[in-house]
Amino acid sequence: MDKKSTKKDLRPFMADFDLMYGIMRNPDSQLVRLASSMRGHYADERALEELIARGDPVHYEVFEKTVPQKKGHLQFGISKTYPGTVGGECFMTKGHYHAVADTGEVYLCLRGEGYMLMKLSNGDSAVERFLPGNMVYVPPFWGHRSVCTSDEPLITFYVYPAEAGHNYGDIEKEGFPVRVFKRAGKVEIVPNKKG
Query: Applying CB under 5 A, does 64 fall inside the site for Zn ion?
Result: no
The residue among 176 and 181 lying less far from Zn ion, judged by its C-beta, is: 176
CA distance from start to end of the chain:
55
From the list Zn ion, ligand F6R, none, partner contacted by residue 62 (C-beta under 5 to 8 A by kind) = ligand F6R
Estimate to the nearest angstrom the gap between the alpha carbon of 148 and the chain centroid. 10
Q: Confirm if 88 and 189 have CB atoms less than 8 A apart.
A: no
CB of 19 to Zn ion, least distance (A): 22
Residue in 61, 64, 105, 113 binding Zn ion, rule: CB under 5 A: 105
| Interacting residues with ligand F6R between 35 and 74 (CB under 6 A) | 62
Q: Which stretch binds Zn ion (CB under 5 A): 4-12, 27-35, 98-106, 175-183?
A: 98-106
160: contact with ligand F6R by CB under 6 A:
yes
Cα separation of 121 and 181, whole Å?
24
Lay out the site mask for ligand F6R across 96-135 (x = CB under 6 A, - = otherwise): x--------x------------------------------
Residue 20 beta carbon to ligand F6R: minimum distance, rounded to whole angstroms: 21
Residues 6+ apart with CB under 8 A from 30: 61, 62, 63, 64
- Based on the shown chain and the rule CB under 6 A, indicate whether residue 166 belongs to the binding site for ligand F6R: yes
Q: Which stretch binds ligand F6R (CB under 6 A): 9-17, 91-99, 122-130, 178-186?
A: 91-99
94 counts as binding ligand F6R under rule CB under 6 A = yes
Contact between 95 and ligand F6R (CB under 6 A)? Answer: yes
Using CB under 6 A as the criterion, which residues of the chain lie in contact with ligand F6R when the complex forms? 62, 77, 79, 93-96, 105, 158, 160, 164, 166
